[in-house]
Amino acid sequence: MQHDIRMGVDIGGTFTDVVLESAGTSHSTKVLTTYAAPEDAIIDGMHQVCAKAGIAPAQIGQIIHGTTLATNALIERRGARTALITTQGFRDVIEMRTESRFEQYDLNLQLPEPLLPRQHRFTLAERVDAQGNVLIPLDRAEVVAMADTLASYNFESIAVGLIHAYLNPDHEKMIRDVLAEKLPDVMVSLSSEVSPQMREYERFNTTVANAYIKPLMKSYLGRLKTRLADEGADCPVFLMHSGGGIISIENAAEFPVRLVESGPAGGAVFAAHIAARYGLDKILSFDMGGTTAKICLIKNQTPKTARVFEVARSYRFKKGSGMPISIPVIDMVEIGAGGGSLAHVDAMRQIRVGPESAGSEPGPACYGRGGARPAVTDADLLLGKLDPDNFAGGSIKLHKDASKAALSALGAPLDMDAITAAYGLAEVVDENMANAARVHAVENGEDLAGYTMIAFGGAAPLHAGRLCEKLGITRLLVPTGAGVGSAIGFLRAPFSFEATRSVYMKLSAFDSGQVRDLLAALAAEATGFVRNCDAKAPIEAQYKVYMRYTGQGWEIPVSLTADQAQNPDAASFQALFEADYASLFGRIVTGMDIEITVWAVNATTASVSAAPLAETPAGRQVTAGDHRALFDPALARMTDAQVVPRASLSPGDHVTGPALITEDETTIVIPVSRMATARPDGTIDITEIRT
Amino acid sequence: MSNVANQVMWNRLISIVEEQAQALVRTAFSTSVREAGDLSAGVYNAEGLMLAQAVTGTPGHVNAMADAVPHFIRRIGRDTIREGDVYITNDPWEGTGHLHDFTVVTPAFHQGRLAGFFACTAHVVDVGGRGFGADAASVYEEGIHIPIMRFADAGTVDATLIGIIRSNVREPDQVIGDLYALATCNEIGQRRLTEMMGEFALDDLTGIGSFILENSRRATLERIAALPRDTATGAMRIDGFDVPIDLCVSLTINGDRITCDFTGTSGIDKKGINVPLVYTKAYACYALKCAIAPEIPNNAASLAPFEITAPEGSIVNAVHPAPVALRHIIGHMIPDVVFDALDKILPATVPAEGAGCLCNFQVSLRPTTGQGRRAEVLTFNSGGAGARPGVDGLNATAFPSGVMTMPVEATEHTGPVIIWRKELRPDSGGAGQYRGGLGQYMEVGPAAGFEADFSAMFDRVHHPARGRQGGADGAATTIALDDGGVMQGKGKQFVPAGRRVMLGLPGGAGYGDPASRDPELVKRDLARGYISAKAAMRDYGLSEADIAAIETQVTKGDTA
């Protein structure tokens, strides 16, 4: 076993990506995901990359794994037979949601069903108040009787969520103790451990989701460890979590809900690592695949994180149509815009694109597999961005005639020819993504001017240049390995764990002793998790409190130094908050009390440090022999673009737009307004041509 | 400008107003804005025609926002509009229906010329007067009234105005904070508009404005032209404050417009449940748009073909100085009346009646002895929605309002109140081929050592939601103290220490004959406890053997 040989594995919906790094070299492969036994694809991929690298699996020192299996189990409702035990009077919290409709004008709107039907939700007489005091004590005999009742239901997993348990977990713990005694084979998840935060709907739902996928994920992770050992890879296995850090396989099995969206989180870590290499502090990462696009803000080489996100959106990716999961997560927006997204013309005679997708069967019209409706890929083909004979390294032949027919049909009611309709379709999908990026930026108080975009995923390089024009972003980086970005990202992530607690405290009633103790307890909890993963590495504790003016509903995160956490005082908390508030919203509000709602400590090892980029040598101004007609949307006309294979570029070489830089996995489109420079690490660096 | 560029710009304007609304949520203080989404935001051309509006939780602002900007232009005087100006009002008749809503309008300049306007509205926590409730006899008692005027003059905020508002409201910091949030969100909209006009090299919004309005008008007219030309009437009786209120509408579909006339509706009430016409228009329009043209965005042209009228002095066209603070109670009932008429013209389109108005209450808490913290706690809750032709009604979900409830844990942090129960109310959904949505049970009382005044804002106590096409009525609202003490559906009422208010929020009505309901859905409802065994037998004729089988199935952990 060699510690410098590490393998990253990302199980996605279609492909399982495997990356092996040893002694500065990297080998990767993509194999089809094997749903029935996902570990099979990993073993297959492992043997492939080991063969390429010329090593045996036994030499692998560490495996970092991320997966969509947890997400898919929630989306497809393939979880275990699960029950919820909750406070009397609150049986329906996960069903009543926010009591609102996420789509205002649909009279036939249907809300998503809760993960557990009502008959699998049980209540006990008990109550804790908003200060954590017990109003109604829990009677152990009643819990025993409940356990006896539940025996006949054959539940595999039980979630326990009690009102205000994030303040006082005693009743939840008593329930777990009784269940362990009476129903020893049943897995138990407590809300005070899975997600100890205020707001019962989010906390209960997160706990239920954890319980629901726990038997499945625990069994999978157990099998994976065994299979890897059988194949000789008896090394430690760690899991990527949704917050962008790494946890042990045991933690992952206990809190599998933390694995949700771990693949995209790896993508964000990948982009953050490129940012570090280039010394860039403001990054917009843009990941576009076949069905969705994901956009994430990365400041100071750290992806933006949030405490709640939504999975399994059931209605056109609409906000509110999924279920909230409150765990530390890398904050990104996901919209239904990918190469396979389909277009139509609506009642206002406007072109609309997505979220409906052609998928891989029948696929866009140009795949020639029977798809008749125009997809984004069809527009990209007609606009000259793709070469019909060299798509996916020539493995899929694209049919331009089919694209033209589909786009002619789209354009007919608008009096547009096929090319104009393709232009319209591409502009609409690019505008949708640009709008999502703008709204995401404003939600985070950011202005995208001054940001650099990092693009990866198969479809991103086709659209990133235009997106930059729309967003006023002047620099775009397309790194190498963009096709397996998430798996590479896993190998760049630190070991980390964030512990959080919801405790309300006004600065006018600031209790320094309580604050010091609370932050110390959170630091000990988070550090303990990380220490389980790495016995030696130095661990840094990062302190954050969420603050707002009393009366506001949205907190802003305020970072504390270790010294401020150990010697807390109200005046310095106020000064920190006011400085951050003013930078976000322009002005502070004087004379108002300030309160803290959530306390968080993230314990982390150091990130894999990025070697700074070598100096780029002076290169050639490349003028290619090959040319192709390429539509430039900013000019609204066809241009004559150079076609340059990426492999032919040496560090320092320049290519001026309009141009297409081609490789097997994708094509980088360089608009007329931009020029590209090849960097020593293989990245294509695309900048605005100043006129 | 090419068609493609116009399409992109229309998308962009909608995105800009969504961004404007989001900025308001992030910086607002009132729970009604930031938790419940009681706000609006929109962009207008230089003539004051609305081009795009954010989709927020409040259909009640739909037309009000479209009408408001022309009032501002008229009152301020077009010639005096300058860059850096910000205008304000909370006039119920020229704003959005009650004094608690402040509307702020900002002119947007591009290259030194007036290009358009941004407007936004939010419900603030207090405006003085008697506080938020139905108890005033005229609008003068409901709080401070700011006519349309300048909030900022060429960039300078009017300190006199701020001082006057500050000294007239109970929570001055929060109200003033919200006014600044309103001004800030318009500024953000303006910034994005300038960027867009630069990117597309526009001098003004004339071209894109015509493109949006023409396409919207054509799409709306196409929908209306496809409907039968017909007239029908609708009516519904509801509780009111002391005396029942009749809501009546006559709906006519012409070739190029739909008219709703509310002649026959009850007159103005003595209490503050009266509705300015602008709010009536909003909810009538909302109902029509849901049924006829749900996906056409709101703007001046898409709203124009819907003509809403009511006799002056009726409760749905209350004129100054009628009290209007709780205009939402009757306003939220208007869609059910419009649907009653529409169902006669367009069968199998609209839902049965539902809970209608939000089931809100405010609790004023004070210590039973000595000095201690007083607190005001406002909550938003929903009954069941009406069954749809083809789908059950939504359980405990707001309709037509789109606002959210607040988490119980968050509410209990705002004051010494305990919510002992908040869960679905079985058997409250009206039986039918499609069942009405369930209402909910709530139990709420002061924490130990406190007593409270409970301000009730409920309807459907005496007039539950009526079934459609053979469906049964939903359950009525119930309200009482836990010791049996009688309480009323509306008004301020005392709750002694140690007592709880027991609420049964109303269910939605059923649609179609219960005998036609899919037996599998009846069994599912029984297994889930949406209906009792008794109701399964009585309403749907489920046999005792079937009921016993379901009960066995449930305890084996099988889902029906």
Confidence at residue B37, expressed as pLDDT on a 0 to 100 scale: 75
Q: Return the residue in A99, A123, A131 with the most chain B beta carbons within 10 A, the one to mutate for interface testing.
A: A99
pLDDT value at residue A162: 98
How many angstroms separate the CA of residue B302 from the nearest CA in chain A?
Answer: 10
Chain A residues touching residue B27 (CB < 8 angstroms): 552, 585
pLDDT digit string (tens) for B18-67? Answer: 888 888 887 787 767 776 777 889 999 999 999 999 877 678 787 788 88
In a domain? residue B556: no
Checking if the pLDDT of A447 tops 80, the result is no
- Which residues from chain A sit within 8 angstroms of residue B390, using beta carbons? 108
The complex's ipTM works out to: 0.93
Closest to A457 measured CA to CA, from A229, A591, A268: A268
Question: Which range, of A95-99, A587-591, B374-378, averages the lowest pLDDT?
Answer: A587-591
Residue B522 lies in a domain: no
- Residue A261's pLDDT is 87
Instruction: Kindly list the residues from chain A whose CB atom is less than 8 angstroms away from the CB atom of residue B54.
Output: none
B388 inside 8 A of chain A by CB: yes
* Any A CB within 8 A of B195 CB: yes
A152/B222 CB distance under 8 A: no
User: Is the Cβ of A120 closer than 8 Å to some Cβ of chain B?
Assistant: yes
Side-by-side strand order, sheet with A82-87: A121-124, A82-87, A157-161, A187-190
Inter-chain CB proximity A554 and B29 less than 8 Å: no
Residues A363, A508, single domain; the answer is: no
Name which of A191-205, A330-344, A352-366 the model is least confident about: A352-366
Domain boundary pick from B217, B241, B276: B217
Per-residue confidence (pLDDT) for residue B560, from 0 to 100: 46
Nearest to A348 among B4, B216, B350 (CB): B216
Chain A within 8 Å of B547 (Cβ-Cβ)?
Answer: no
B181 domain residue, yes or no: yes
Last residue of a domain, one of A569, A604, A639: A604
pLDDT at A586: 58
- What is the mean pLDDT of the segment spanning A263-290? 92
pLDDT category of residue A145 using cuts at 50, 70 and 90: very high
The SS3 call for residue A282 is strand
Buried b (16+ CB within 10 A) or exposed e, A413-443: ebebebbbbbbbbbbbbbbbbbbbbbbbbbb
For position B57, what pLDDT does the model report?
Answer: 65
Q: Are residues A140 and A162 in the same domain?
A: yes
For the ranges A307-321, A367-381, B302-316, B388-402, which has the lowest average pLDDT? A307-321
pLDDT at B414 (0 to 100): 79
Under an 8 A CB cutoff, do A153 and B528 touch? no
A129 and A197 inside one domain: yes
- Are A247 and A258 within 8 A, CB to CB? yes
Query: Hey, is the C-beta of B222 within 8 angstroms of any chain A C-beta?
Result: yes
**CA-based nearest distance B137→chain A, Å:** 30
Question: Which of A82, A103, A105 should we substitute to test contact with B (largest number of B Cβ atoms within 10 Å)?
Answer: A105
Domain contains A68: yes
pLDDT bin (cut points 50, 70, 90) of residue A78 is confident
Query: Are both A352 and A420 inside the same structural domain?
Result: yes
- Is A248 in the same domain as A381? no
Chain A residues near residue B294 by CB distance under 8 angstroms: 105-107
Assign residue A316 the CATH number of its domain.
3.30.420.40
Query: Is B155 a member of any domain?
Result: yes
Strand (E) or helix (H) holding B411: helix B408-414
Same domain for B210 and B359, yes or no, is no
Residue A484 belongs to some domain of the structure = yes
Q: Is residue B536 part of a domain?
A: no
Over 80: is that where the pLDDT of A1 sits? no
Q: What percent of chain A has pLDDT over 90?
A: 65
B295: chain A residues, CB-CB within 8 Å:
105, 346-347
The residue of B2, B7, B302 whose CB has the most chain A CBs within 10 angstroms, and thus the best one to mutate to test that interface, is B7
DSSP B35: T
Q: Collect all residues of chain B within an 8 Å Cβ-Cβ radius of residue A200.
A: 407-409
Considering A541, A573, A604, which residue would you say is the last residue of a domain? A604
Least confident span in A260-264, A419-423, B316-320, B499-503: A260-264
Nearest CB partner across the interface for A585, out of B125, B184, B555: B184
Choosing from A403, A425, A447, the residue where a domain stops is A425
Q: What is the 3-state secondary structure (H, E, C) of B482-517?
A: CCCCECCCEEEEEECCCCCEEEECCCCCCECCHHHC
Strands (E), B239-384: 245-253, 258-261, 306-309, 360-367, 375-379
User: Is the minimum CB–CB distance between B177 and chain A shorter than 8 Å?
Assistant: yes
Domain assignment present for B143: yes
Per the structure, the count of domains in chain B is 2
Structurally, chain A folds into a number of domains equal to 5
Q: If pLDDT is split at 50, 70 and 90, which confidence band does A32 have?
A: confident
Q: Do B554 and A104 touch (CB under 8 A)?
A: no
Closest in B34, B222, B405 to A552, CB measured: B34
What are the pLDDT tens digits along chain B (560 aa)?
A: 577 888 888 988 988 898 888 888 877 877 677 767 778 899 999 999 999 998 776 787 877 888 889 999 999 999 999 999 999 999 999 999 999 999 999 999 999 999 999 999 998 878 999 888 888 999 999 999 999 999 999 989 999 999 999 999 977 877 888 998 899 889 889 988 998 899 889 999 999 999 999 999 999 999 999 999 999 999 999 999 999 999 999 999 998 999 999 999 999 999 999 999 999 999 999 999 999 999 888 899 999 999 999 999 999 999 999 999 999 999 999 999 999 999 999 999 999 999 999 999 989 899 998 777 778 788 899 999 999 999 999 999 999 998 888 889 988 987 899 999 999 999 999 999 999 999 999 999 999 999 999 999 999 999 999 999 999 999 999 999 999 999 999 988 999 999 999 999 999 999 999 999 999 999 999 999 999 999 999 999 999 999 999 999 998 877 64
| Partner residue facing A200 (CB), from B382, B403, B409 | B409
Radius of gyration for chain A, computed over Cα atoms and rounded to the nearest angstrom: 26
Q: What is the pLDDT of residue A585?
A: 63
B34:A554 CB<8 A: yes
Asked whether residue A476 falls in the same domain as residue A528, the answer is no
Q: Which residue of A has its CA nearest to B388?
A: A108
CB contact under 8 A, B397 and A99: yes
Contact A553 B34 (CB under 8 A): yes
Nearest-by-CA chain B residue for A589: B177
Phi, psi of B447 (to 5 degrees): -70, 165
Same domain, B355 and B213: no
All residues of chain B having their beta carbon less than 8 Å from the beta carbon of residue A504 are 413
Is A624 in CB contact (< 8 Å) with chain B? no
Q: Are B31 and A451 in contact (CB under 8 A)?
A: no
Minimal Cα–Cα distance from B265 to chain A, Å? 26
Q: State the pLDDT confidence band at A376, using cuts at 50, 70 and 90.
A: very high
Please tell me the distance from the alpha carbon of residue B557 to that of residue B560, in angstroms, as a whole number: 10
> Are A366 and A464 within one domain?
no
| B423 closest CB neighbour out of A89, A445, A470 | A89
What residue type is B494 in one-letter code?
F
SS3 A78: coil
Q: Are residues A210 and A225 located together in one domain of the fold?
A: no
Could B424 and A99 be called an inter-chain contact, meaning their C-beta atoms sit closer than 8 Å? no
In a domain, A633, yes or no: no
What is the domain range of residue B505? 351-517
d(CA B546, CA B552): 10
What pLDDT is stored for residue A614 in this prediction?
Answer: 84
- Lowest-pLDDT choice from A250-254, A288-292, A674-678, B512-516: A288-292
The interface residues of chain B toward chain A in range 32-91, judged by CB-CB distance below 8 A, are: 34-35, 37, 55, 57, 59
Q: Are residues A15 and A54 in the same domain?
A: yes
Is position A182 within any domain? yes
Same domain for A308 and A457, yes or no, is yes
Q: Which helix (H) or strand (E) holds A687?
A: strand A684-688
Of the pLDDT bands very low, low, confident and very high (cuts 50, 70, 90), residue A72 is: confident
Lowest mean pLDDT among A329-343, A575-589, B282-296: A575-589
| Spatial strand order in the sheet of A556-560 | A496-506, A594-604, A540-549, A556-560
Residue ending a domain, choose from B191, B217, B243: B217
From the candidates A77, A107, A152, which should be mutated to test the interface with B, based on the most B CB atoms within 10 A? A107
Pair A478, A558 in one domain: no
Per-residue pLDDT, B375: 80
Strand bridging mode A187-190 / A157-161: parallel
How close is the nearest chain B Cα to the Cα of A442, in Å? 7
Closest partner residue to A163 (CB to CB) among B27, B382, B409 is: B409
> Look-up: residue for tokens 């527009």?
A379
Question: Token pair for residue B13?
Answer: 């304007």
The answer to whether B166 contacts chain A (CB < 8 Å) is no
**Nearest CB to A438; choose among B15, B222, B440:** B15
On whether residue A677 sits in a domain, the answer given is no
List all residues of chain A from 130 to 189 with a beta carbon under 8 Å from chain B. 130, 135, 152-155, 163-164
Contact list in A for residue B388 (CB cut-off 8 A) is: 107-108
Please compute the mean of the pLDDT values over residues A573-581 and round it to a whole number: 91
- In which domain, by residue range, is A440 found? 263-337+429-490
Q: Is the domain of A332 the same as that of A361?
A: no
Is there a contact between A34 and A7 (Cβ–Cβ < 8 Å)?
no
